């Protein structure tokens, strides 16, 4: 192709666009977008999602900061799931915490060739990534921290994720709420399974032993206390246990 020929260039772009569409909206006949539950607001969320996915480059990196920018970092939502009676209390989590998380395993399941259980040591054997990023909570505060972990993409590829994958669902110890990401965000280079924060092991209040970091979405997508991740070949926003059913946006790109 002559790269100065505008028509070939346009054809090339159209071809690329179609491939991208195929990645995001596979089998358009199914349900490629979160259910709107009849709500106008939810329909607005879908417009935001489509606009981001159509207009923005899918894997552009969010800004990374330097050590001097690291700020104090409040812990919110569930912060003590090992304490009976507290928000998000989980007896299995307490038992794992009391054993120093030695028996903790992350289950990786779904449309993968090699479903399995990963210990913290297993996850630390993958090449790691460290990034200093700004967390933006829907409640109006932001904070900057350094996160260390394994890019989710590495674990998904190691598990032999099928090409038919459309989303990844995340299950945690403290809550029944299911969160999910599309494959663009799941495979984004800054989407981490993080075990370290500011150079130390992740503290309980920030999601020990492993949390998700989704740097290009609002803070509530960065799930703490991970238990299980499931790769799906049909879109799943968690249904009645999903955030959309609770009146929250499924996609919160920033």
Ligand X SMILES: Nc1nc2c(c(=O)[nH]1)N[C@H]1C(S)=C(S)[C@@H](COP(=O)(O)O)O[C@H]1N2
Q: Which residues bind Mo ion (CB under 5 A)?
A: 137-138, 219-220
Q: Which residue's Cβ lies closest to Mo ion?
A: 137
50 binds ligand X (CB under 6 A): no
174 binds ligand X (CB under 6 A): yes
* Minimum separation from the CB atom of position 231 to ligand X (A): 19
Angle at 80 between CA 78 and CA 81, to 5 degrees: 75
132 binds ligand X (CB under 6 A): no
Instruction: Select from ligand X, Mo ion, none the partner in contact with residue 216, using the beta carbon and a kind-dependent cut-off of 5 to 8 Å.
Output: none
Q: List the one residue from 35, 76, 132, 158 that touches ligand X (CB under 6 A).
A: 76
97 binds ligand X (CB under 6 A): no
Torsion of CA 188, 51, 24, 210, to 10 degrees: 30
Nearest residue to 229 via CA among 253, 211, 254: 211
Euclidean distance between the first and the last CA atom of the chain, given in angstroms as a whole number: 36
Binding to ligand X in span 187-246, by CB under 6 A: 206-207, 219-220, 222-225
Instruction: Select from ligand X, Mo ion, none the partner in contact with residue 189, using the beta carbon and a kind-dependent cut-off of 5 to 8 Å.
Output: none
74 binds ligand X (CB under 6 A): yes
62 binds ligand X (CB under 6 A): no
Q: Are 222 and 135 in contact (CB under 8 A)?
A: yes
77 binds ligand X (CB under 6 A): yes
Phi–psi pair at 173, nearest 5 degrees: -75, -30
78 binds ligand X (CB under 6 A): yes
Q: Are 183 and 161 in contact (CB under 8 A)?
A: no
Residues 6+ apart with CB under 8 A from 51: none
Instruction: Select from ligand X, Mo ion, none the partner in contact with residue 73, using the beta carbon and a kind-dependent cut-off of 5 to 8 Å.
Output: ligand X
Nearest residue to 225 via CA among 135, 116, 106: 106
Instruction: Select from ligand X, Mo ion, none the partner in contact with residue 222, using the beta carbon and a kind-dependent cut-off of 5 to 8 Å.
Output: ligand X
93 binds ligand X (CB under 6 A): no
Closer residue to ligand X, CB minimum distance, 126 or 248: 248
Q: Which residue's Cβ lies closest to ligand X?
A: 77
Residues that bind ligand X (CB under 6 A): 73-78, 137, 172, 174-175, 206-207, 219-220, 222-225
């Amino acid at each position: 192709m002559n790269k100065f020929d505008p028509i070939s260039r346009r054809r090339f772009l159209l071809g690329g666009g179609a491939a991208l569409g195929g990645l995001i909206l596979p089998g358009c006949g199914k349900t490629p977008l979160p259910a709107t539950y009849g709500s106008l607001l939810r329909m607005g969320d879908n417009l935001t999602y489509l606009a981001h996915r159509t207009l923005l480059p899918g894997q552009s990196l969010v800004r990374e900061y330097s050590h001097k920018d690291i700020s104090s970092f409040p812990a919110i939502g569930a912060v003590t799931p090992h304490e009976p009676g507290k928000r998000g209390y989980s007896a299995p989590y307490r038992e794992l915490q009391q054993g120093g998380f030695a028996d903790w395993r992350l289950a990786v399941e779904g449309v993968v060739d090699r479903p399995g259980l990963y210990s913290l040591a297993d996850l630390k054997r993958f090449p790691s990534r460290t990034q200093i990023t700004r967390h933006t909570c829907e409640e109006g505060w932001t904070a900057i921290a350094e996160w260390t972990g394994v890019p989710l993409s590495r674990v998904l590829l190691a598990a032999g994720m099928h090409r038919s994958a459309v989303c990844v669902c995340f299950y945690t110890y403290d809550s029944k709420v299911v969160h999910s990401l599309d494959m663009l965000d799941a495979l984004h280079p800054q989407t981490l399974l993080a075990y370290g924060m500011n150079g130390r092991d992740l503290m309980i209040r920030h999601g020990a032993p492993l949390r998700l970091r989704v740097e290009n979405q609002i803070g509530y997508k960065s799930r703490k206390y991970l238990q299980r991740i499931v790769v799906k070949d049909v879109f799943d926003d968690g249904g009645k246990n999903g955030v959309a059913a609770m009146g929250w946006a499924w996609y919160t790109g920033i």
